[in-house]
Amino acid sequence: MKEKVIVAMSGGVDSSVAALLLNQQGYDVIGVTMKLYSLDQTDLPDYYRGCCTLDDVEDARQVCRILGIPHYVLNVQREFETFVIDYFCSEYEKGRTPHPCIACNDKIKFSFLMNRAISLQAKYIATGHYARIEETSNGFTLKKGLDPTKDQSYVLFGMDQQELQHTMLPIGNFSKDSIRKMAQDAGFSNALKPDSQDICFIPFGDYKQFLKDRLGTKSTGEIVNTEGEVLGNHDGIEYFTIGQRRGLGLATGDPLYVLELDHQSQRVIVGPESSLYQKETMISKVNYVSGIPPTEPINVQVKIRYKAKESPATLTPTSNGASITFNEAQRALTPGQAAVFYKDDLVVGGGIIEPIHKEQYEIQSLVTTCPD
């Protein structure tokens, strides 16, 4: 009896070829498109490169028709609203900068879809991510995709052993060019479809306007320097991110950058670019892919944002997460973003970057506001 596989099909070329490869390998393949967010009545710009339109659903359906496999659409808008959009807004409201794709992978594409796969008596789910899963004598490992320009292992660091055991990543050994060639040879109409590049629920790319529409008018606050001196005012910390220079509205001689966003005081702390560089940070919500935390400090390569280069560092496990000490200072370590740990092409794990300036600025602010 063929083993059943549920393929998460966005309508893009990568997940389409994932279904193609598994079908060729003899699996009982079922295509599933998850309706995450409705853009059906939205007048989308020509440059939109998301994955939530009726055209995307139809692209996936056409591929399944060519392959002769069933195709279903799952409405997961309620779950997406709760676990991704609400989380996205809440993090910005706290002065943090989230990565919604990580939340979507963790809570929707794997956890939710895995449960649906069980109800369909499927042994595996599969996606079109550029990463690799390998079975070893000690369990399952997660590795980078072979195409370094397309590697997506960064957004998969939250996977555990149970998920790895029941997940397939068929395209992780291929380059993007070869994936497009396979799609063309198979007659897929989406073979040359551009890659998704936008946050799917913000089609116009204006996250500030999206937050204004979702959160409404929020409390304003002060923009202060590292000495606690008030330099100006702002309309909400959710409209800023660490390392930002433009849009501060300050008339100062030297350029100033956002160093910290203080949720409690609603203050935006700014300073010189040199203050953006840090060698140490704390990591929360740490997941170790092996399921076994290290018992002592280990040397790793760390990626602090999706498009960043990896940097050598020492990872030290703590009682509530991990600490990272980089060999060289890093610019704009941003709370809310993921830090992912690697050893060569192996994903060790990852977690969420926490604030590193807070105590320093709180102390300085207290000193400057105390009466004589």
- Number of residues written out for the chain: 372
pLDDT at position 188 over 50 = yes
- One-letter amino acid for residue 233 of the chain: N
pLDDT in tens, 97-126: 999 999 999 989 888 899 889 888 999 999
Query: Is 200 an annotated catalytic residue?
Result: yes
pLDDT at position 42 over 70 = no
Least confident of 34-43, 262-271, 314-323: 34-43
In sequence order, what are the residues at sequence separation of 6 or more whose Cβ sits closer than 8 angstroms to the Cβ of residue 157? 102, 142, 287, 289, 338, 340, 341, 347, 349, 350
pLDDT band at residue 301 using 50, 70 and 90 as cut-offs: very high
pLDDT at position 368 over 80 = no
Q: Give DSSP secondary structure letters for 153-187.
A: GGGGTT--HHHHHTEE-TTTTS-HHHHHHHHHHHT
pLDDT at position 265 over 70 = yes
* Region 167-189 average pLDDT: 98
What is the number of other CB atoms lying within 10 angstroms of the CB of residue 226? 18
- One-letter amino acid for residue 222 of the chain: E
| CA 195/CA 51 separation, integer angstroms | 9
* Region 68-90 average pLDDT: 95
CB 12 within 8 A of CB 51: yes
Active-site residue, from 51, 101, 200, 370: 200
- One-letter amino acid for residue 230 of the chain: V
Q: What percent of the chain has pLDDT over 70?
A: 91
pLDDT of residue 371: 34
pLDDT of residue 53: 79
What CATH code is assigned to 278-358?
Answer: 2.40.30.10
pLDDT of residue 363: 33
CB 125 within 8 A of CB 5: yes
| CA 247/CA 320 separation, integer angstroms | 36
Placement of tokens 């600490």 in the chain: 323
Q: Which residue spans within the chain are E strands per DSSP? A: 4-8, 28-35, 71-75, 124-126, 131-136, 139-144, 167-168, 221-225, 230-234, 257-262, 267-271, 277-288, 298-303, 311-318, 321-331, 338-343, 346-353
| CA 39/CA 179 separation, integer angstroms | 27
Placement of tokens 């030290």 in the chain: 316
Least confident of 135-144, 215-224, 255-264, 273-282: 215-224
CB 150 within 8 A of CB 176: yes
Per-domain residue ranges of the chain: 4-186, 278-358
- One-letter amino acid for residue 247 of the chain: G
Query: Is 104 an annotated catalytic residue?
Result: yes
* Region 85-102 average pLDDT: 94
CB 202 within 8 A of CB 88: no
Fold of the domain spanning 4-186: Rossmann fold (3.40.50)
Active-site residue, from 51, 52, 104, 370: 104
Radius of gyration, alpha carbons of the chain: 22
Query: In whole numbers, what is the pLDDT of the chain averaged over residues?
Result: 90
